[in-house]
Amino acid sequence: MTAVDFDVVVVGAGRAGTAAAYKLAAEDFDVALVERAKQPGMKNVTGGVLYGQILADLVPEFPEEAPLERHVVEHNIKLLHGDAEVSIGYRDMDLLEEPNYTLMLGKFDRWFVDRAVDEGAVFVPETTVRDVTQARDHAVVHTDRENGDLACHAVIGADGVNTTVGRATGIQRTMRNPDMALSVKKVIDVGRDTINERFNLDSDEGAAYIYTGFPEGAPTIGYFIYTYDEYISVGAVGGLEVLRWLGDEGYAESGTPLYSLLEEFVELDTVRPYVQGESLQEYQGILLPELSYESLPDRYDRRIALVGDAAGLVLNKGYTFRGLDYGIKSGLLAAESAIACDREGNWEAFGRRYDQWLENSYVLQDMKQHRHLPEFLKNERMYGAYPGIATETLRGMYSAGSDAQGLTWKQAYRAFRNSDAGFLDLLKDGYRGLRSL
């Protein structure tokens, strides 16, 4: 048997990789957590809410100890149509019972890695992994450091959407435009009191806003606003396939960059009040997987397991994004597979066992149940005709103008007839929506 440097090498110190390292270290495994940035979080970007129950199961003291931003008590979906907006708001103080928070990864990831190191994990920063190879009875992680190759029983690839572990080993297939979305985000200093005023929040309560419908009819383009302690983040997300042709299809005169759409978005009358007086702290860009359950690539090969974004474990539900907790759960399952392999003295089943457990976990059950969602969210009518019908109907209900006459159902019917959507579309989309949401 070849001598190994570590039982397990985890590549990437995001939440997924760190959860795996924490768990393994807590079980007295020799585990290395390899990270290419100088500090955890420096290469990481999120636009989302941490649904923290899975982390609370692992680190019960996390809500008290971790640097968290705001405890999310309110979610809003906003359909934009020209100067109008239709909003569905959900505010519930019972949400305070759940450990769901907005995060800044620069602070959060540093804390989480420190906790893993406290448990005994070896943190190896400033080290980029170039390849992973497997021999008969071990695996080797090749890094860009001199004499920096690490032999181990198993490798956990937690190195994000552009996973080197996945691509260099051929586990992950080549990603193409339809499977990927681009996001740009701005972090703005607004101040704690102003945030509480603007978003109608108390102390450390937080809100999340999701927008669609701008530019009109452009499918897969969405926007978000999240509240942090003293800052807010405002960002745009769009499928690469749509962004590639946006403009050529007639939405603008030429290809419109996502950052330009974001600039236009924050200037909308309905959005500006939330973000005005902006003092930009940081601009960021990131790619995110936008795969459906059926199109997910492979996740393992013998002693190698891919977790989190590297395995494409992200779901845009339309009304919220899931990914942070999927990453943590998948990292934990990979760790548990390693623990089982060690107990049996056979590491060959490491990847397969992880994948089976992942398949049965809430992560893939969730993605399976929502497997029609990615296709549903590519429907142009969701971004044009339907917000239009909704705003026109509501204008009829609330405007005293002369064009708003008759009973509400008649106005709704008229708005529908004036839209691009047909009856069959409505039935079809309604059915698809019910089936996938």
Partner 1 sequence: MGVQDSLETVQWDVSEAAHITVDNDYCVTCEDKPCLHLCPAECFDYQADQKGGIYFAYEPCVECGACMVFCGNDPEKGAVSWSKSEGGKGVEFDFG
Q: Is residue 42 a contact residue for partner 1 (CB under 8 A)?
A: yes
- Alpha carbon distance 290, 277 (integer Å): 33
| Contacts of partner 1 in 118-177 (CB under 8 A) | 125-128, 130, 143-145, 161-162, 164, 174-177
As measured in angstroms, the least distance from the Cβ of 214 to partner 1 is 17
CB-based burial label for 161 (10 Å; 0-12, 13-18, 19+)? buried
Cis amide bond preceding 67, omega within 30: no
> What's the DSSP call for residue 293?
G
Identity of the residue, 130 or 417, whose beta carbon is nearer to partner 1 in the bound complex = 130
Identity of the residue, 229 or 336, whose beta carbon is nearer to partner 1 in the bound complex = 229
Among residues 90, 283, 362, 431, the one that binds partner 1 under rule CB under 8 A: 283
Binding mask 417-436 for partner 1 (x = CB under 8 A): --------------------
Q: Is residue 18 a contact residue for partner 1 (CB under 8 A)?
A: no
As measured in angstroms, the least distance from the Cβ of 274 to partner 1 is 16
| Helices 362-369 and 350-360, axial angle in degrees (round to 10) | 60
Q: Is residue 256 a contact residue for partner 1 (CB under 8 A)?
A: yes
| Contacts of partner 1 in 92-111 (CB under 8 A) | 104-106, 109
> What region, left, alpha or beta, does residue 133 occupy, with left being phi > 0 and alpha being psi -120 to 50 degrees?
beta
Strand 280-289 relative to strand 180-189, pairing? antiparallel
Identity of the residue, 172 or 391, whose beta carbon is nearer to partner 1 in the bound complex = 172
Question: What's phi and psi for 29, nearest 5 deg?
Answer: -85, 150
Strand 180-189 relative to strand 205-212, pairing? unpaired
Amino acid, single-letter form, for residue 307: V
- Per CB under 8 A, the segment of 134-142, 246-254, 365-373, 411-419 that binds partner 1 is 246-254
Q: Is residue 15 a contact residue for partner 1 (CB under 8 A)?
A: no
Q: Is residue 286 a contact residue for partner 1 (CB under 8 A)?
A: yes
Identity of the residue, 215 or 433, whose beta carbon is nearer to partner 1 in the bound complex = 215
Maximum distance among all Cα pairs of the chain, rounded to whole angstroms: 85
As measured in angstroms, the least distance from the Cβ of 203 to partner 1 is 21
- Per CB under 8 A, the segment of 52-60, 178-186, 199-207, 424-432 that binds partner 1 is 178-186
Q: Is residue 243 a contact residue for partner 1 (CB under 8 A)?
A: yes
Q: For residue 380, how many other CB atoms are within 10 A of its CB?
A: 17
Q: Is residue 295 a contact residue for partner 1 (CB under 8 A)?
A: no
> What's the DSSP call for residue 250?
S
Q: Is residue 221 a contact residue for partner 1 (CB under 8 A)?
A: no
Identity of the residue, 230 or 298, whose beta carbon is nearer to partner 1 in the bound complex = 230
Give SS3 for 211: strand
Identity of the residue, 105 or 333, whose beta carbon is nearer to partner 1 in the bound complex = 105
Q: Is residue 186 a contact residue for partner 1 (CB under 8 A)?
A: yes
Give every CB contact of residue 258 below 8 A, 6+ residues apart in sequence: 182, 183, 184, 236, 238, 243
- Alpha carbon distance 51, 68 (integer Å): 12
Among residues 28, 65, 248, 403, the one that binds partner 1 under rule CB under 8 A: 248
| Contacts of partner 1 in 314-373 (CB under 8 A) | none
Q: Cβ(292)–Cβ(315) under 8 Å?
A: no
Q: Cβ(246)–Cβ(182) under 8 Å?
A: no
Give SS3 for 266: helix
Place of tokens 């450390």: 204
Identity of the residue, 100 or 163, whose beta carbon is nearer to partner 1 in the bound complex = 163
Identity of the residue, 129 or 333, whose beta carbon is nearer to partner 1 in the bound complex = 129
- Alpha carbon distance 117, 114 (integer Å): 5
Residues at the contact surface with partner 1, assessed by CB under 8 A? 36-38, 41-46, 104-106, 109, 125-128, 130, 143-145, 161-162, 164, 174-177, 180, 182, 184, 186-187, 231, 233, 240, 243-244, 247-248, 254-260, 263, 280-287
